[in-house]
Structure 1
Amino acid sequence: MPTARTHPHTHAPLRRRALLTGALALTGALTLTACGSSDPADSGASGTTRTVKTAMGDVKVPKAPRRVVVLDTAELDSAITLGVRPVGATHVEAGSGFPDYLPKDKVSGIKDVGEMMNPNLEAIAALKPDLILTSKIRHAAKYDQLKAIAPTVMTETTGYPWKENFRLHAEALGKRAEAKKVITRYRAHAERVTQAIGGRAKAERTEVNVLRFIEGADIRLYGDQSYIATILKDVGLGRAPIAAKAKDGFSYDLSPEKIDLADTDVIFRSTYGDPKKSKETQTTRSGLWKNMRAVKTGNVHTVEDELWIQGIGYTAADKILDELRRDLTPKR
């Protein structure tokens, strides 16, 4: 069973903030009532609904939803990728606003409805959405409140099953044809990157690790059951043996004193939160770090956390493919 660790930007130290109180939840429900929507499932522009199979059972959604609210970065990426501008979206805890990798003109005008793990139900209800997208692992406890506002489509979890989740998002948004085109373009893009870095055999011989320095937590090395690992696999890149030790296939946690266990041909690293509090500064100044093979050969690449780890979608994946090509293509 997936846990909260499945998602790349979930960790306990940064989530110790006050959760939404029961009073606010009640207020949110009352706000909805004031909006005068007796049956949110029937609020689609076309006046008709479709049934979508979700992690919470069958849900009736508008045939052509026009006012969509998304409660995590994966759902935001899916919507933007499919040409849908949500009316509302949450932001991640360590930052504000929406991911910079998304086109500014595509996210302008979207209402920020609070921090991802603590969405503001009143703000969501005030937007009068006709569809809400999120995941069970994120907001199962708020499902009854959310579905009282609008039909709510939840995937089981986030991160690793992002491709399956994207298909469900597309189904809920009425964008299946567009989704097929996105998937086809992505596969072709991944193959071009494979060829650019030397072909399938060369890619398989190149072992890669992805590290994340996290404020208030251990250093995370991503295993094969993670979003970023699926992209590495699509390109055909090899993985260092330590990745196989990842708990539940998701991640293997390291202290600065054991960072040399992460050494391999190539390392991509990101930081979530304050570099000093995330042990990044301490680790990268250490002798262990400086003596690692990837460091000595200049094959450590610093990447943006919100793209490589938080993005979780095809728009993010395409940009990651471009960076893999840039960093791994042999220099001539």
Structure 2
Amino acid sequence: MNRRITATALALACAVALAACGSDSDDSDSSDSGNGSGDGATRTVETAMGPVEVPENPQRVVVLDTAELDTVITLGVVPVGAVQADATQEFLDYLPADQLADIEVVGNIAAPNLETIDRLDPDLIIGSKVRDEERYDELSAIAPTVFSETVGAPWKENFLMHAEALGKSDEAEEVVAAYEAHAAEVTEALGGAEAAADIEVTMLRFIEGGNTRLYGRDNYIGSILTDIGVGRPAITDEATDGFAVEISPEQIDQADADVIYYASYGDPEASGEQGAVGGPLWEDLTAVQEDRAFPVNDQLWYLGIGYTAAHQILDEITETLT
């Protein structure tokens, strides 16, 4: 699908390019062994685990979740190691392949391989307490480790913390501003705030090995929909902790809305997507009857949890709804 290139998307690209240019010499050293920002200078970052001293200019970064991978790439930093999601066994497929090619796999989410991480000799590890609290001491013995409290809903706050740890706070401000401008563009493209609010959007995710989810507001994709001001169906308010409502295949009618975006975590056959989509209950949904049910990339819409993903999502929303 060809995406509309917006001015704000170009602004993000410029911000990332500036970040990369500002660290060209750093990148050239990133394959060298040994921790180091060169002069040994450090600064303190406030994290979910307390204050952490990090290198002023970290060179060898390991990330322990998909959101953190989106973050570092967005800020022009290519990590030496990263985890993968269980169901994908690959890095995020919407990120530039050339920037992912030399990243070493260091395990799966919430199951990092500490020996591999140690061998990579990082000078900064970025992750979250909710995923790896029990491994924090071991990780900290390898390198300064910066954890956010949790993942998903607080993705914007996490981004700023991780940017601070990377020494990229100025670049992060540019990224945030570009996203906010892009979101405002999408609202206008939908006819303005009032028109956008009249469009009810369901986020439907089929889960291999789990129940199907109707996503609420307190998560990554929910926050993006809030930022552009679209409406959500009433069932959204029943989401547990604001996160999601879990349904069975026989309850797919509860996904009814003006628009449905749907994806599968894992194999579509094993997740239940193939059995549900096209079935009699599916065909009765308003969005389906009006040709406004759209399959989307699970890695982009649900796993990326970052600003590079967010820009691409905003472009896809504009394409499908205008």
The answer for the alignment partner of 1:309 in structure 2 is 302
C-alpha distance after superposition, 1:41-81 (max 9, x if no partner): xx433311101100000100000000000010010111001
Equivalent residue in structure 1 for 2:111, among 118, 131, 134: 118
Contact 1:129 1:149 in 2 (8 A): yes
Equivalent residue in structure 2 for 1:299, among 288, 292, 298: 292
SS, match of residue 309 in structure 1: helix
Task: Return the letter of the residue paired with 2:270.
Answer: K
List runs of 5+ in structure 2 lacking aligned partners: 1-32
SS, match of residue 270 in structure 2: coil
1:212-223 maps to which residues of 2 (within 5 A)?
212-223=205-216
C-alpha distance after superposition, 1:192-249 (max 9, x if no partner): 1111122111100001010100011111010010100111111111111101100000
The answer for the alignment partner of 2:181 in structure 1 is 188
C-alpha distance after superposition, 1:20-48 (max 9, x if no partner): xxxxxxxxxxxxxxxx98xx7xx433311
Task: Return the letter of the residue paired with 1:101.
Answer: Y
SS, match of residue 303 in structure 2: coil
CA drift at 1:105: 2.1
Measure, in 1, the Cα distance between the counterparts of 2:52 and 2:95.
29
Equivalent residue in structure 1 for 2:95, among 89, 102, 116: 102
Contact 1:46 1:62 in 2 (8 A): no
1:64 aligns with 2:57: yes
Measure, in 1, the Cα distance between the counterparts of 2:214 and 2:176.
27
Measure, in 2, the Cα distance between the counterparts of 1:259 and 1:50.
51
Measure, in 1, the Cα distance between the counterparts of 2:38 and 2:217.
41
CA drift at 1:117: 2.0
What is the aligned-residue RMSD (CA, Å)?
1.3
SS, match of residue 184 in structure 1: helix
1:220-239 maps to which residues of 2 (within 5 A)?
220-239=213-232
Spell out structure 1 runs of 4+ moving beyond 2 A: 43-46
Equivalent residue in structure 2 for 1:128, among 121, 126, 135: 121
C-alpha distance after superposition, 1:137-177 (max 9, x if no partner): 00001001100000000000000000000000100000000
Contact 1:94 1:272 in 2 (8 A): yes
Measure, in 2, the Cα distance between the counterparts of 1:280 and 1:103.
28
C-alpha distance after superposition, 1:255-310 (max 9, x if no partner): 11111111010000000112222111221242111111111111100000000000
SS, match of residue 271 in structure 2: coil
Task: Return the letter of the residue paired with 2:296.
Answer: V
Measure, in 2, the Cα distance between the counterparts of 1:59 and 1:242.
42
1:269-280 maps to which residues of 2 (within 5 A)?
269-280=262-273
Measure, in 2, the Cα distance between the counterparts of 1:184 and 1:319.
16
SS, match of residue 277 in structure 1: helix
The answer for the alignment partner of 2:196 in structure 1 is 203
Contact 1:131 1:150 in 2 (8 A): yes
1:139-288 maps to which residues of 2 (within 5 A)?
139-288=132-281
Task: Return the letter of the residue paired with 1:230.
Answer: S
Bigger drift between 129-138 and 45-54 goes to 45-54
Residue identity over aligned pairs, in percent, reads 54
Provide the TM-score with structure 1 as the length reference: 0.85
Measure, in 2, the Cα distance between the counterparts of 1:192 and 1:285.
33
1:78-97 maps to which residues of 2 (within 5 A)?
78-97=71-90
SS, match of residue 113 in structure 1: strand
Task: Return the letter of the residue paired with 1:237.
Answer: V
Measure, in 2, the Cα distance between the counterparts of 1:45 and 1:51.
17
Measure, in 2, the Cα distance between the counterparts of 1:273 and 1:186.
29
SS, match of residue 276 in structure 1: helix
Contact 1:270 1:304 in 2 (8 A): yes
Contact 1:45 1:62 in 2 (8 A): no
List runs of 5+ in structure 1 lacking aligned partners: 1-35
SS, match of residue 309 in structure 2: helix
Task: Return the letter of the residue paired with 2:123.
Answer: D
The answer for the alignment partner of 2:39 in structure 1 is 46
Aligned length: 290
Measure, in 2, the Cα distance between the counterparts of 1:85 and 1:44.
15
